[in-house]
Amino acid sequence: MASKSTKAVTAARKAKDMMTSCRLCAHGCGVDREKNEKGKCLSGAEMEVASCLLHFGEEPFISAAKGSGAIFFSHCNLHCAYCQNYQISHMGIGSELCPAELSREMLALQAKGAHNINLVTPTHYIPGILESLATAFESGLNIPIVYNTNGYDSPQTIDLLDGVVDIYLPDFKYGVDSVASKYSQCDKYVENTTKSIGAMFAQTGGLTVDASGVAKRGTIVRHLVLPGHHKNTATVLKILANISREITLSLMSQYQPAFRSGLFPEISETLSKEEYSLAIGLARQAGFRNILVQPLASAGNYVPDFGNKQPFV
C-alpha cells in the first residue's frame, strides 16, 4: 500500500494540472491560476495563510484537550454575506507561504501537541497543501489531517484526497439553491455539495475516536442554523440522512449577524431558542445517531478577530 507521502505527491501533481484551467471547486471557473489569473475565490498561484495556531473552539473530539492544529487560509470560493471569518475570506488578510514553509508550520503544530492538522477553507489551495503534506509526512508528521471545508468542492478534488485526509469536516449550509445563491453567490449548491459530501463519507465512513475520545477518522458535517430558515434546515437534514444517518451531525447555533448580514433583514438577528430547539427536533426525527449541539449563550465566543495574533478569545 502506498504511503501517505506517496499519495500526496501523486495527488499534488494532478491537482496542479486542475489549477491551470481551475476546477478545484464547484464553480469550475476555468482560469489559469498558475499564471495568477483569479476566479471566484480571488486566489492566485501562491498559498496565503492568515493564522497557524492551536485552536480550542472546534468540536470536542477535534480540539479535545490539547487543541487542533488549525491553519486558516485566506480567501474563499463562497461569498457568504454573514461570514464570521470575513476578514480573511473576503478581505484577504494573510501572507504568502510556500509549501516548504507550510510544511514546517504543520510540524511545529504537531510539536506543540496538536491532535490533528486542521486545514480551514483549503479547497482553492489544494495543490500547494498536498505538496506541503508530502514533505511533512516524510519529516515525521503522523497526526490526522482534517479537511475543514465549506462543502462547495468538486468531487474530483475530493477523490484526490483519498488516503491523505483522515477526517472530513464540511459545512452543508443550504438545502435550497435560491437561498445559497442569495447569501453565498453560488450556483447548484445542493447538487454539488451533496455529491462532495457523499464522496467524503464513502472514503472515511462514520466517526471513529481513540480511547480518549479524540477523532481519528470519519466525516462530521456541520450545519449552521440560520434564523428564519427552518425549511432550509429541514431539507439539509433530509439530504444528509439519505447519504447516511451514520454521519456525525454538528448542529451549530453560533450564528451571528456579521459582515453584510444587515443587508438581509431576515438574517440580521441572532438565532432564537425556539428556532434552535426546532432544528434539534428535526435532526432527531431524521434519525441521526450522533448529534452535537451548542449552547446558544456561547455564540459570541466563536467570532474571531484576525487582526490579533490570537484571533479567538
Measured distance CA(109)–CA(42) in Å, rounded: 28
Residue 307 lies in a domain: no
The predicted pLDDT at position 300 comes to 66
Measured distance CA(270)–CA(227) in Å, rounded: 7
Residue 31 lies in a domain: no
Residue 141 lies in a domain: yes
Helix (H) or strand (E) holding 17: helix 4-20
Q: Domain of residue 295: give its range.
A: 4-23+48-302
Domain count, the chain: 1
Residue 228 lies in a domain: yes
Contact 192, 154 (CB under 8 A): yes
Helix (H) or strand (E) holding 279: helix 273-286
Contact 175, 238 (CB under 8 A): yes
- The residues, ordered by sequence, that sit 6+ positions from 272 with a Cβ below 8 Å of its Cβ are 227
Residue 35 lies in a domain: no
- Tens of pLDDT along the chain (313 residues)? 679 999 999 999 999 999 999 999 999 999 999 999 999 999 999 999 999 999 999 999 999 999 999 999 999 999 999 999 999 999 999 999 999 999 999 999 999 999 999 999 999 999 999 999 999 999 999 999 999 999 999 999 999 999 999 999 999 999 999 999 999 999 999 999 999 999 999 999 999 999 999 999 999 999 999 999 999 999 999 999 999 999 999 999 999 999 999 999 999 999 999 999 999 999 999 999 999 999 887 666 778 889 888 888 7
Measured distance CA(132)–CA(141) in Å, rounded: 11
**Residue at grid coordinates 451533496:** 194
Provide the CATH number for the domain around residue 19: 3.20.20.70
The predicted pLDDT at position 242 comes to 98
Contact 271, 253 (CB under 8 A): yes
Residue 28 lies in a domain: no
Measured distance CA(313)–CA(310) in Å, rounded: 8
Angle at 273 between CA 269 and CA 279, to 5 degrees: 100
Residue 308 lies in a domain: no
**Residue at grid coordinates 478534488:** 157
Measured distance CA(282)–CA(249) in Å, rounded: 12
- The residues, ordered by sequence, that sit 6+ positions from 290 with a Cβ below 8 Å of its Cβ are 206, 207, 246, 248, 249
Task: Quickly list H helices, 113-249.
Answer: 126-138, 155-160, 177-184, 189-204, 230-243
Residue 238 lies in a domain: yes
